[in-house]
Amino acid sequence: MGPLIPNGLIPIEWNFVIALLIGLAFGYIMEASGFSSSRKIIGVFYGYDFAVIKLFFTTAIVSAIGLYYMDYLGWVDISQLYVHPTYLWPAIVGGVFMGLGFMFGGYCPGTSLCAIGIGKIDALAFAVGIMIGVFIFSESFGLLEPFFNGSNYGHITMMDTFGISPYWIILIFTVIAVIVFYFSDFIRKRVKKVFY
C-alpha cells in the first residue's frame, strides 16, 4: 500500500500539505515537551537533563519498529522508501560543527525556530547565525565541492554495510537505548545537586 505518493494513492501535490501538517504537529510537540528552552537542551552537556537523548533514541526506535511492522503487514513497501545518500566525511565534519553550535548556542535549527515562535530573542540570534552559515557555505561550495563529493557512498544502510538483518539492528539499538537511559539517569541523579 504505502508509501502513498510513489504508489499513486494520493497526488504528488499533497506532499507540501502533508509536510506542513507534520511540521506544525512536530513544532507543537517540541514546544509542549520543553524543547524551546535552551536550558533543557544544553542540560545534556552538563549532565542534568537527558530528555533530548531519550527523545532521539525513542523516536528512532519506535519509527524503525513501526516501519518494519507495517512492511511485514503489507501496509508499507520499505524498499520504496527514500534513503538519503551518505557523504561520510562531510557528515562527520558537519556533525562536529552542529554539535559545537548545539553546545554553545543551546539550540539546533528546529528547536531555534520553535523558540522563535514563542518570542525568544536568543533563538532569533541563533537562527540568524544559521542563515549566515548557510550563506557562507553556499558561496564557498565551489571550493568545498571536491571534499563534499569525495566520500559519496550512495544510498547505503546499516543492513547493507554490515550484512545484518534489520531486526537485529533494531534489537541492538534498543539494547543500547536501554543502557543509555540507565546511565543517563545515574549521571543526572549525581549531577542534579550541583545545578539545582
Quick one: what percent of the chain has pLDDT higher than 90? 27
CB 10 within 8 A of CB 4: yes
φ, ψ for residue 36 (rounded to 5)?
-90, 0
- Output 25 or 34, whichever has higher pLDDT: 25
pLDDT at 49: 84
- What are the extents of the domains in the chain? 1-82+157-196, 84-149
Read off the pLDDT of each residue in 10-25 and give the average, rounded to a whole number: 87
Confidence band (pLDDT; 50, 70, 90) for 196? very low
Q: Exposure pattern of 166-193 as b/e (b: 16+ CB <10 Å)?
A: eeeebeebeeebeeeeeebeeebeeeee
Give the separation between CA 122 and CA 74, rounded to whole angstroms.
Answer: 46
pLDDT at 66: 92
Confidence band (pLDDT; 50, 70, 90) for 89? very high
Element containing residue 141 per DSSP (H, E): helix 141-149
DSSP string, 91-117: HHHHHHHHHHHHHHHS--HHHHHHHHH
Read off the pLDDT of each residue in 62-74 and give the average, rounded to a whole number: 91
Q: Tell me: the pLDDT tens digits for 121-175?
A: 999 999 999 999 999 999 999 898 899 888 888 888 888 888 899 999 999 999 9
Cell numbers linked to 187: 549521571
Residue 169 CA: distances (Å) to CA of 67, 69, 88, 95, 188: 14, 14, 20, 22, 28
Lowest mean pLDDT among 47-51, 62-66, 117-121, 189-193: 189-193
Residue 166 CA: distances (Å) to CA of 50, 52, 78, 172: 27, 25, 11, 10
Give the separation between CA 45 and CA 103, rounded to whole angstroms.
Answer: 7
